Amino acid sequence: MQRYRFIVSGEVQGVFYRKFVSQAMMKKQFQGYVKNLEDGTVEVVAVVFDEDFDMVMQILQEGSPASNVKEISYQIIQDADFATDGFEIRY
Protein backbone atom coordinates (compact mmCIF):
# COMPACT_ATOMS: atom_id res chain seq x y z
CA MET A 1 0.00 0.00 0.00
CA GLN A 2 1.32 3.39 -1.02
CA ARG A 3 0.07 6.96 -0.96
CA TYR A 4 0.25 8.49 -4.41
CA ARG A 5 -0.08 12.05 -5.66
CA PHE A 6 -1.23 12.18 -9.28
CA ILE A 7 -1.24 15.34 -11.41
CA VAL A 8 -3.57 15.14 -14.39
CA SER A 9 -3.24 17.61 -17.24
CA GLY A 10 -5.28 18.29 -20.34
CA GLU A 11 -8.88 19.42 -20.55
CA VAL A 12 -9.78 18.39 -17.00
CA GLN A 13 -11.36 21.45 -15.39
CA GLY A 14 -14.93 22.55 -16.01
CA VAL A 15 -15.84 19.20 -17.61
CA PHE A 16 -17.02 17.20 -14.55
CA TYR A 17 -13.66 15.41 -14.32
CA ARG A 18 -13.46 15.68 -10.52
CA LYS A 19 -17.00 14.34 -10.10
CA PHE A 20 -16.30 11.41 -12.41
CA VAL A 21 -13.05 10.52 -10.62
CA SER A 22 -14.61 10.91 -7.17
CA GLN A 23 -17.54 8.65 -8.00
CA ALA A 24 -15.38 6.01 -9.70
CA MET A 25 -12.89 5.97 -6.83
CA MET A 26 -15.66 5.75 -4.20
CA LYS A 27 -17.24 2.87 -6.10
CA LYS A 28 -13.93 0.98 -5.90
CA GLN A 29 -13.58 1.98 -2.20
CA PHE A 30 -10.37 4.00 -2.52
CA GLN A 31 -9.45 6.65 0.04
CA GLY A 32 -8.30 10.11 -0.93
CA TYR A 33 -9.36 13.24 -2.72
CA VAL A 34 -9.45 15.06 -6.04
CA LYS A 35 -8.84 18.80 -6.37
CA ASN A 36 -8.47 21.45 -9.09
CA LEU A 37 -5.16 23.30 -9.04
CA GLU A 38 -4.63 26.91 -10.05
CA ASP A 39 -2.50 25.98 -13.08
CA GLY A 40 -5.41 24.13 -14.74
CA THR A 41 -4.35 20.64 -13.70
CA VAL A 42 -6.11 18.30 -11.28
CA GLU A 43 -4.47 16.73 -8.22
CA VAL A 44 -5.54 13.29 -7.06
CA VAL A 45 -4.18 11.88 -3.81
CA ALA A 46 -5.04 8.27 -3.07
CA VAL A 47 -4.05 5.24 -1.03
CA VAL A 48 -3.41 2.48 -3.56
CA PHE A 49 -2.44 -1.16 -3.17
CA ASP A 50 0.09 -2.36 -5.77
CA GLU A 51 -2.46 -4.62 -7.45
CA ASP A 52 -4.89 -1.68 -7.89
CA PHE A 53 -2.46 0.81 -9.45
CA ASP A 54 -3.48 0.04 -13.06
CA MET A 55 -7.16 0.40 -12.15
CA VAL A 56 -6.52 3.87 -10.68
CA MET A 57 -4.57 4.91 -13.78
CA GLN A 58 -7.42 3.69 -15.99
CA ILE A 59 -9.98 5.75 -14.02
CA LEU A 60 -7.80 8.86 -14.23
CA GLN A 61 -7.12 8.37 -17.95
CA GLU A 62 -10.77 7.73 -18.84
CA GLY A 63 -12.20 10.74 -17.03
CA SER A 64 -15.58 12.23 -17.79
CA PRO A 65 -16.97 12.11 -21.35
CA ALA A 66 -16.14 15.82 -21.87
CA SER A 67 -12.59 15.60 -20.50
CA ASN A 68 -9.44 15.03 -22.54
CA VAL A 69 -6.53 13.76 -20.45
CA LYS A 70 -3.14 14.54 -21.99
CA GLU A 71 -0.74 13.44 -19.26
CA ILE A 72 -0.71 11.83 -15.81
CA SER A 73 2.35 12.17 -13.62
CA TYR A 74 2.63 10.62 -10.18
CA GLN A 75 4.84 10.23 -7.19
CA ILE A 76 4.78 8.28 -3.96
CA ILE A 77 4.27 10.56 -0.98
CA GLN A 78 4.81 10.01 2.72
CA ASP A 79 2.10 12.24 4.14
CA ALA A 80 -1.38 13.04 2.95
CA ASP A 81 -4.20 14.93 4.62
CA PHE A 82 -6.99 12.37 4.79
CA ALA A 83 -9.89 13.75 6.78
CA THR A 84 -12.25 11.20 5.30
CA ASP A 85 -12.63 7.44 5.20
CA GLY A 86 -13.76 7.65 1.59
CA PHE A 87 -12.98 9.71 -1.47
CA GLU A 88 -13.93 13.38 -1.70
CA ILE A 89 -13.84 16.41 -3.93
CA ARG A 90 -11.82 19.24 -2.41
CA TYR A 91 -12.09 22.90 -3.30
The residues assigned a catalytic role are 18, 36
Alpha helix (H) residue ranges in the chain: 17-27, 53-62
Of residues 53, 63, 51, the one with CA closest to residue 21: 63
Query: Of all helices (H) and strands (E), which one includes residue 43?
Result: strand 42-48
